[in-house]
Amino acid sequence: MTDAVRELRVPVELPSGRVEISADLVAPGDAWACVALAHGAGAGYRHPFLVGFSRGLAHEAVATLRFNFPYVEAGRRMPGPAAHAVVTWAAVQAAAAEQAGGIPLFAAGKSYGGRMASMAAAEGVIAPAGLVYLGYPLHPPGSPDRARTAHLPDVPQAQLFVEGTTDPFIDPHEQLEQAVASCRIAEISWIEGGGHSFEVKGRKRPADEVGAELAPLVADWMRRALR
């Protein structure tokens, strides 16, 4: 593995046939872990937040493989079936394992991407060393009755929920805390004042800086998860 960013193409076997998705591998030479990193529903793999998060993890000697879901690769704005995302996660895990050279693999995602990783893990399609959710979309804003939590207790791996305290996707907080308590191994890391994209009111920062600032706490949790 090298420090350079490498552009990759990852094949994915969808029910409708094989497609290829774009991916970027950021791989410091001394990497001790690799994170497969998925984007949110409305953004691709090169969104500044994800680029910054990858850069921050590289400073922690953690490699990342950022990738597009097939619907974004095809130029569509709305996510396809969840089953397509789960199959994509399986393909990405295989690609990350091929690139990582035997170091531990983690799965992470912003919002939708993290939720799809949790579904893939719950179904046993992927088996990472742990999962990290950057703003888990517990329910649509204003609709706590539509919680997306039923599968979370079925995830056997350790899970980290990184959540902004003002995120409308997790209001009320007690609902998230109950969901996390139902998991086998899980914890929440709260970002005080953070919204769904971890923006803090009155503190204007570029999205890449916001992403980079989350990397140390995630890397610390990963180290603890491997003990």
The answer to whether 99 and 36 have CB atoms below 8 angstroms apart is: no
- The answer to whether 34 touches 222, Cβ cutoff 8 Å, is no
What is the distance between the alpha carbons of residues 33 and 30, in angstroms, rounded to a whole number? 9
pLDDT at 130 over 70: yes
- How many residues make up the chain in this entry? 227
| Interacting residues of 12 by C-beta distance below 8 A, sequence separation 6+ | 18, 19, 20, 21, 70, 87, 88, 91
Q: For residue 75, what are the contacts with CB-CB under 8 A and spacing of at least 6?
A: none
Average pLDDT rounded to a whole number, residues 182-201: 97
Domain count, the chain: 1
Starting at the edge strand found earlier in the chain, the sheet holding 105-110 runs: 5-14, 17-26, 62-67, 33-38, 105-110, 130-134, 158-164, 186-191
Other C-beta atoms closer than 10 Å to the C-beta of 13 total 12
Q: What is the CATH number of the domain that holds 60?
A: 3.40.50.1820
- The pLDDT-based confidence of 4 (bands split at 50, 70, 90) is confident
Given a cut of 70, whether residue 27 has pLDDT beyond it is yes
Residue 224 is encoded by which pair of tokens? 């603890």
- Inform me whether the pLDDT recorded for 205 exceeds 50: yes
pLDDT of residue 30: 94
Mean pLDDT of the 48-63 span:
98
The residue-averaged pLDDT of 182-199 equals 97
Report the DSSP beta bridge partners of residue 38: 67, 109
Residue 107 exposure: Cα atoms within 13 Å on the Cβ side:
31
**Residues of the domain holding 73:** 5-225
Arithmetic mean of pLDDT, 89-96? 98
**Rounded Cα distance, 212 and 210, in Å:** 6
Predicted confidence at residue 3, as pLDDT, reads 57
Closest CA to 69 of 106, 112, 17: 112
Task: Name the token pair of 39.
Answer: 């984007």
Task: State yes or no: pLDDT of 1 exceeds 80.
Answer: no
Rounded mean pLDDT of the chain? 96
